Amino acid sequence: MLNDFKAFALRGNVIDLAVGVIVGAAFTGIVNSLVSDILMPPLGFALGGIDFSDLFLVLKGPHLDTLAAARTAGAVTINYGVFINAIIRFIIVAFAIFMLVRWINRLFAATKSAPAAPTKSELLLVEIRDLLKARPVP
């Protein structure tokens, strides 16, 4: 059972997944800041001053201007703006992980050795085969 677990844990997909989880966790703060502080303000400005984090639909309770105010008032809301921010964060993290895995794969591909040259007996067999093919058929 230990050998089976070792084979499972050392497969490429599991290692790729572990790298993705670790890198994703490490980039969470950076990505959150990138989305909230860098990407969303110009995007909101371009769309007429919309703050995506304040896009919500009130199902029950008072209709207020901001999500924070609606939450404080106890309103039941669907926060689709927060969901849009989460999608943008996901795309950024997925792209960063993709680039990391791509770099690791290229690194491993570069370290693989070239295929071994054919042995003398293989070369002789190829030469015999070619000579037999070149012979006229009686």
Asked whether the whole model's pTM tops 0.75, one would answer no
The 10s digit of each residue's pLDDT in 30-44 is 777 877 788 778 877
What is the average per-residue pLDDT within 20-37?
Answer: 78
Contact (Cβ atoms closer than 8 angstroms) between residue 36 and residue 64: no
Q: What's the CA gap between 101 and 64, in Å, rounded? A: 45
Predicted pLDDT of residue 137: 75
pLDDT digits (tens, 9 = 90+) for 81-132: 889 888 887 887 788 778 878 888 888 777 776 677 889 999 999 999 999 8
CA–CA gap between residue 49 and residue 14 (Å, rounded): 43
Cα separation, 59 vs 77, in Å, equals 5
The domain in which residue 60 lies consists of 2-134
Structural domains in the chain (count): 1
